[in-house]
Amino acid sequence: MLEIAEQVVERARIHGAQQAAAGAYQVREVSVQWRDGAVEKLTEATTRGVGVELYVDGRYASVSTSDLRPDALDTFVGDAIAMTRALAPDPFRALPDPQLYRGQSDVDLQLADPNYGALTAVARRELAQQLEAAARDTPDGARILSATTSVSDSQSRSWRVHSDGFVGQKVGTSYWLGAEVSVQDADGRRPEDACYAGARWRGDVPDPQGIGAEATRRTLSRLGSRKPESGQVTLVVDARAAGRVVSSLLGGLSAAGWQQKRSFLEGKLGAQIGNALLDVTDDPLVVRGLGSRRFDGEGMAAREMALFAAGVLKNGLVDTYYGKKLQMAPTTGRLSNLRWRLGAKGREALLRDVGDGIFVTGFLGGNANGTTGDFSWGIQGFAIRAGQLAEPIGEANISGNHLTLWPALLAVGDDPYRYSALRTPTLVFGGVNVAGR
């Protein structure tokens, strides 16, 4: 596939592109979905394709194809260049400054399990079966309507070739286990919940027993959920669920949003966005990290970057194009892994500190306005009474604005969620509007 990327760049130059950057990929994915004692679905495939960004006479296009027959590739590149020539010129389009390719870390990121491929079809089925057995191994097993489990793994390889000499290769593997459980509630509802865990190396994936049992525990805890009363409450957001709130905040970091003046963080570099507890760094060099990389999607060497330091906005996600438009130095256009300055307390201690409030275990729908920072999301979770989790709540919304939410960050847990590159800890916010009854 490296040769295909090289050929595409070469053909682009022959057809008249001054610059080109090609990316080719090949991904093998295998998954087993298991339900109620039998395989529900087996999927296995190796998928591949190539894409190329074209810079032609000051004009830009980005195109991709999965038809890799040599004559088809040549026609594809020729047609794409003809299409690019029909566009208006854009003086801000160019490959990155080659200086930014330099200085790649030589840390061994260990993103690929060297034993990938050793997992057999039989072993996958056994894992799926064990997940289900663990989910059903509970005194309340009779309430379970259905248990679906999944076992999947993938190996992805990608190659990037630029006309200015940059060549990069990435190889990564991942393994995921999951269990979803539905139970019968007294009033006809059939609440469902799930537990998933994964890692880049097979040996880092937790045992199926814990995952299956956790899925059932979570689901059973939903029985009898009620709407909470409307009002302003202290909100504790579970580490597993906090990604929704955090990714909405981080959406404001995009330089495209800044340049288009559609971001509530536009013009706020150096400003206090949250209180001192909001302290987050993008760290691309985490060994075996889910979002780790040595170079980014444009070939720029990956570096650690502070996003918020003691609540102050330090950097945005600035790619080459919007960097030029904004006359800002590019950082990177995409996040890798987050590293939080963690607090000293775990969930139980945080709940005790809060006393009364709502513990959010999941979000349902909702959205945010990226221009103003307003958000409104559906939630489910539990009431917190006297420092303990109490009755399950659901069918409620929270609403607010990021610019007032993060100054009201009361605590950060010590418990980053391992199964997401956002690695969010438990977060506690004061005075959040909840709409229920």
Partner 1 sequence: MSTAHVSGGTGLAAALQYFGRFGVDEALIRTALAAALARGGDRADVYFQHRVAHSLGLEDGAVNRAWSGIELGVGIRVLRGDQTGYGYTEDLTPESVRQAALTAAAIADGPSRERPIPQLVATAIPQRYPAKTPWDQVAAATRLPLLQRVQERAFAADPRVQKVTVHFSDEEGAVLMVDSDGRVAFDTQPMTLIHLSCMAEENGRRESNGGNIAGRAGLEFYNDAKLDKLVREAVDRTTILFEAGQPPAGEMPVVLGAGSSGILLHEAIGHGLEADFNRKGVSIYADKLGKPIAAPFVTVVDDATNEGARGAINIDDEGNAAGVTTLIHDGVLQTYLHDSISARHYGVQPTGNGRRESFRHAPLPRMRSTYMLPGPHTPEEIIASVDRGIYCGNFANGQVQIGAGDFTFYVKNGWLIEGGKLTRPIKDVNLIGNGPKVLEQIDMVGNDLKIDDGGWTCGKDGQSVPVSQGMPTTRVRAMTVGGRG
Site for partner 1 in 267-296 (CB under 8 A): none
Number of CB atoms found within 10 A of residue 261's CB: 9
Subset of residues 1 to 60 that bind partner 1, contact rule: CB under 8 A? 35-36, 38-49, 59-60
End-to-end CA distance of the chain: 58
Pairing of strands 374-385, 388-401: antiparallel
For 345, list phi and psi in degrees, rounded to 5.
-115, 150
Subset of residues 352 to 371 that bind partner 1, contact rule: CB under 8 A? 364-371
Q: How far is the CB of 261 from partner 1 (least distance, A)?
A: 5
Binding residue (CB under 8 A) for partner 1 from 102, 108, 261, 344: 261
Token pair belonging to 214: 């956790």
User: DSSP letter string over 391-436?
Assistant: EEEEEEEEEEEHHHHGGGEEEE-S---TTSTT-PPPEEEEEEEEE-
Q: How far is the CB of 280 from partner 1 (least distance, A)?
A: 25
Q: How far is the CB of 57 from partner 1 (least distance, A)?
A: 12
62 versus 115: smaller Cβ distance to partner 1:
62
Token pair belonging to 202: 């097979």
Instruction: Count the helices and strands in the chain (H runs, E runs).
Output: 9, 16
Query: Which residues, in sequence order, are bridge partners of residue 346?
Result: none
220 versus 280: smaller Cβ distance to partner 1:
220
How many residues can be counted in the chain?
Answer: 437
Subset of residues 165 to 184 that bind partner 1, contact rule: CB under 8 A? 182
Q: How many residues bind partner 1 (CB under 8 A)?
A: 83
Subset of residues 61 to 90 that bind partner 1, contact rule: CB under 8 A? 61-68, 75-76, 79-80, 82-84, 86-90
| CA-based nearest residue to 268, from 313, 300, 230, 229 | 313
Region of 144-152, 238-246, 289-297, 346-354 interacting with partner 1 (CB under 8 A): 144-152
Region of 302-310, 326-334, 341-349, 398-406 interacting with partner 1 (CB under 8 A): 398-406
Distance CA 33, CA 61 (A): 39
Distance CA 417, CA 406 (A): 19
191 belongs to the binding site for partner 1 (CB under 8 A) = yes
3-class SS of residue 116 = coil
50 versus 412: smaller Cβ distance to partner 1:
50
* Axis-axis angle for helices 208-220, 121-136 (nearest 10): 40
Q: How far is the CB of 370 from partner 1 (least distance, A)?
A: 8
Token pair belonging to 48: 């591949």
Subset of residues 105 to 124 that bind partner 1, contact rule: CB under 8 A? 121
Binding residue (CB under 8 A) for partner 1 from 152, 248, 315, 380: 380
Region of 2-10, 289-297, 310-318, 427-435 interacting with partner 1 (CB under 8 A): 427-435
Distance CA 402, CA 5 (A): 42
198 versus 436: smaller Cβ distance to partner 1:
436
Q: Which residue has the tokens 């949250």?
A: 274
404 belongs to the binding site for partner 1 (CB under 8 A) = no
Q: How far is the CB of 98 from partner 1 (least distance, A)?
A: 23
Subset of residues 293 to 352 that bind partner 1, contact rule: CB under 8 A? 325
185 versus 304: smaller Cβ distance to partner 1:
185
Q: How far is the CB of 251 from partner 1 (least distance, A)?
A: 13
From residue 319, alpha-carbon distances to 43, 182, 334 in Å are 36, 44, 8
Token pair belonging to 272: 């206090």
Q: How far is the CB of 348 from partner 1 (least distance, A)?
A: 26
Q: How far is the CB of 105 from partner 1 (least distance, A)?
A: 31
